[in-house]
Structure 1
Amino acid sequence: MEILGSVPPEQGQAPPPRTPMAYEGVWRFTAPALDCSVPQARHAVRDLLVHQRVPVTEELVQNLLLIVSELVTNAVRHAALLSPEIAVELSIGRDWVRVAVEDNHPYRPKALEADQGQTGGRGLLLVQAITAESGGAYDVEHTAGGGKAVWAALPLAPAVSVAVRATNPRRAR
């Protein structure tokens, strides 16, 4: 497993020595490009966050799961013909969590303004809004195999949020 750090140091400076947090790492799993993979991806991400004891707030978890749902749904709906399998990658650093959904379709999706009469088509707008509101980043990258990876990275909330809940229930309200 490759351990990824936070922001790299400025050029010419040595990175400060640090011990990785126990929850840091990169996990990747694949799933068929089917509708049933959407809830499976959500559950896998939630379970991994719990298993690794990542210091996340419930709001961050909900935002992250919504992003996973939207990105996996888009891959299933728009890339399944050229990509019968998709990959979900969760990268967790000391100060951030990043989710990427990769498929083999070369089309680079764009967030489209949907009109009031449409019931769908707002998924990427939602991902962008959640990411921006959280102070995170969102992008689409081409993969070496000719497909794409759509990703969003969100900053982790201060670690005290989980510790406070566990030790002082009055402060967690």
Structure 2
Amino acid sequence: MDTTSVNLTTARSTASVAGARDSTRDFLEHLVRLLAAETADTVVLVVSELVTNALRHAGGTCTLDLTAHPDGIEVAVHDPSPQAPRMRTPDFNRGTGGFGWPMVNRLAYTIQVTDAPGGGKTVRAFLPR
């Protein structure tokens, strides 16, 4: 069985999102059962979107946990905001976003948003191997 996890705490900055992507690539490259390149890219994209959303909309800090299960990869992002992500119409004109959450929902086979003990929330995306 190939189950392991990595924990990364980030603060608001472009470098934090890049660091989350780098840590995810490193995590995926060291799995006993490697992922196909396209699958690994999808995991990195989901991490990038969830970390970006947490830093942008949930108070500027978050924690990323990655877990490899036999049938999938679990991406969990914990942040201090109790507000769940919401779908909104993508903004093609003013550049205010709205693309990431719908994309994550299309790429993951399961999404869970749960309240965290002591406040905040955890957003979990499960991606197939």
**Aligned twin of 1:63:** 42
**Aligned twin of 2:86:** 110
Alignment partners' CA distance in 1, 2:47 and 2:89: 20
Alignment partners' CA distance in 1, 2:86 and 2:35: 29
**Aligned twin of 1:9:** none
Query: Following TM superposition, by how much is the alpha carbon of 1:97 offset from its aligned partner in structure 2, in angstroms?
Result: 0.6
Instruction: List gaps (5 residues or longer) in structure 1.
Output: 1-20, 157-173
Amino acid at match of 2:25: R
SS at structure 1 position matched to 2:14: coil
Alignment partners' CA distance in 2, 1:66 and 1:116: 20
**Aligned twin of 1:54:** 33
**Aligned twin of 2:19:** 40
Query: Following TM superposition, by how much is the alpha carbon of 1:115 offset from its aligned partner in structure 2, in angstroms?
Result: 4.4
Query: Following TM superposition, by how much is the alpha carbon of 1:151 offset from its aligned partner in structure 2, in angstroms?
Result: 1.6
Alignment partners' CA distance in 2, 1:47 and 1:33: 21
Alignment partners' CA distance in 2, 1:145 and 1:39: 28
SS at structure 1 position matched to 2:119: coil
Amino acid at match of 1:48: F
Q: Does 1:141 align with 2:114?
A: yes
Query: Following TM superposition, by how much is the alpha carbon of 1:26 offset from its aligned partner in structure 2, in angstroms?
Result: 2.5
Q: Aligned residues, how many?
A: 128
**Aligned twin of 1:123:** 100
**Aligned twin of 2:75:** 99
Mean Cα displacement is larger for which, 65-74 or 138-147? 138-147
SS at structure 2 position matched to 1:36: helix
Amino acid at match of 1:104: P
Give the ranges of 4+ consecutive aligned residues of structure 1 lying more than 4 Å apart after TM superposition: none
Instruction: List gaps (5 residues or longer) in structure 2.
Output: none
Amino acid at match of 1:154: L
Radius of gyration: which is bigger? 1
Q: Which of the two has greater strand per residue?
A: 2
